[in-house]
Amino acid sequence: MTKDAQHWSQWFWNSFFADWLARVQDDQGGVFDALNADGTPDPTAKKSLLAQARTLFTLSHAALVTGDPSLIVAAKRQVTFLEHFQKTSGLYRCMTARDGSLTGQIEDEYARSYDQTFVILGLVTWNKLSPSDEVCARIDDCWTALELHLTDPVTGLLRNDDSGANTGPAQNPHMHLFEACLQAFRMTDDAIWLARAAKLRATGLRYFMDDQSGSIAEFLTPDLNPLPDAAGLRREIGHQCEWAWLLIEEAELANDDSLRIPANRLINFADTYGFAQDGMLKGAAFDAVSTTGDVVENSFLMWPQTEAIKILATRHRAGEAKVGARAQQLLCQMFEHWFEQHPVFINQVDAAGNVLWDEGLTRLMYHIVIAMSEGARAGLWSLPSAPRTYSVHKTS
């Protein structure tokens, strides 16, 4: 590698991010959900709540860590566009047309718990930048709606959506609502959010933690059993890293070192089975392995690399040897294989580095900016020395 992690951090913040933002913003409001392989959007595509809410967080977080005031303007556009998704107090539909109008398709009207978590994550971060009673009320309404309409009153598990379908629960919305609560506590210092985080964490670990392997399962059956056969043994490495990062964050915020025990089990599982040991992608995180360590998906999405960088940076802050160098190497790999020689970035490569999925998904920038800021927090690379101004569309 001829370019080090510091080079890539400066390039990302001083060059790439501005270009990406200019490409992804839509003059009709909000952002496009994806950019094609040539770096252009599909003007006929619908817009998802997931991409819009994650981008609100992305821009708000970037504004907080870089000090760039123009990103506040960009984030405000996202707050405004989110209003198109609200269908009842606190509940947000999952999809709209490009201009924010209704699509007329019933499946686009569903409120998904996974998406709602990012509404809270985005709004609490935005409210730190631009506090208002209105946004506080929207946050409270969203939380209340999650409890009333998307939470099973017996188990405390989140329903996948409000469609009424009897689908088995997924760990992902629990993890991200746990994340949103921790972020809300950081932004507000209100202990209620730490209590909510603890409750979600306990529920998530109770139902999804596999004590035998020390790993987090992805899905359960409707009667709360592991999925049958190989599906029940499949583990995504990115989520093992992400849960571990969140558990250590809660341990630090709540001053509770007992939370490091499950975090360390997840770290050990990921370190033992989750990273390529040879080849062009040596050191990169696999998409999925089995509980016994078999590689079941010998492919490499970008987002698991960011989650690995985050937990490696956290471990480096704690004084663990050699993990900082792993984070730096993985950051360089990410930019060289998923960014370099592409107009923006791509989503997935195979073990030889060949492109499997060439879209630049807008929702992935949420993963990237946290990895960049966590590495800087750990002193593995630095943020830009001075804020730069990003060009943004202005809401009319």
Residue 355 falls inside a structural domain: yes
Indicate if the pLDDT at residue 392 is higher than 90: no
Q: What is the reported pLDDT for 396?
A: 28
Average pLDDT score over residue span 75-81: 98
Q: Encode 209-246: b = buried (16+ Cβ within 10 Å), e = exposed.
A: bbeebbbbbbbbeeeeebeeeeebbbbbbbbbbbbbbb
Asked whether the predicted pLDDT for residue 385 surpasses 90, the reply is: no
Total domains, the chain? 1
* Per-residue confidence (pLDDT) for residue 395, from 0 to 100: 38
In this predicted structure, the answer to whether residue 228 has a pLDDT above a threshold of 60 is: yes
For the segment 79-105, the average pLDDT, to the nearest whole number, is 97
Residue 99 forms part of a structural domain = no
User: Is 281 inside a domain boundary?
Assistant: yes
Average pLDDT over residues 196-210: 98
Q: pLDDT of 235-259, one tens digit each?
A: 999 999 999 999 999 999 999 999 9
Q: What is the pTM of this model?
A: 0.96
**Residue 220 scores a pLDDT above 50:** yes
Task: Output the pLDDT for position 227.
Answer: 98
Cα separation, 339 vs 332, whole angstroms: 10
- Tell whether the model's pLDDT for residue 393 goes beyond 80: no
Look-up of token digits 């999650």? 146
User: What is the per-residue pLDDT for 384?
Assistant: 83
Vertex 235 angle, CA 310 and 304, to 5°: 30
Q: Give CA–CA dist 246/311, Å, rounded.
A: 9
pLDDT at 217 over 70: yes
* Mean pLDDT value of segment 326-344: 97
Residue 112 placed within a domain: no
- Would the pLDDT of 65 be above 90? yes
Residue 250 lies in a domain: yes
CB 114 within 8 A of CB 160: yes
Residue 268 inside a domain? The answer is: yes
The pLDDT of residue 133 is above 70:
yes
Range of the domain at 28: 5-45+153-377
**Three-class SS of the chain:** CCCCHHHHHHHHHHHHHHHHHHHHECCCCCECCEECCCCCCCCCCCEEHHHHHHHHHHHHHHHHHHCCCHHHHHHHHHHHHHHHHEEECCEECCEECCCCCCCCCHHHHCCEHHHHHHHHHHHHHHHHHCCCHHHHHHHHHHHHHHHHHCECCCCCCECCECCCCCCCCEHHHHHHHHHHHHHHHHHHCCHHHHHHHHHHHHHHHHHHEECCCCEECCEECCCCCECCHHHHHEEEHHHHHHHHHHHHHHHHHHCCHHHHHHHHHHHHHHHHHCECCCCCCCCCECCEEECCCCEEECEEECHHHHHHHHHHHHHHHCCCCCHHHHHHHHHHHHHHHHHCCCCCCCCEEECCCCEEECCEEHHHHHHHHHHHHHHHHCCCCCCCCCCCCCCCCCCC
Share of the chain above pLDDT 70, in %: 96
Mean pLDDT value across residues 307-329: 98
Specify if 211 maps to a domain.
yes
pLDDT in tens, 266-285: 999 999 999 999 999 999 99
CA torsion 63-66-71-72 (nearest 10°) is: 40
Q: Would 390 be classed as within a structural domain? A: no
Q: In this model, does residue 36 exceed pLDDT 60?
A: yes
CATH number for 35: 1.50.10.10
Q: What is the mean pLDDT of the chain?
A: 96
Nearest residue to 188 via CA among 140, 248, 125, 239: 125
With 90 as the cut, is the pLDDT of residue 164 above it?
yes
* Confidence category of residue 386, pLDDT binned at 50, 70, 90: low
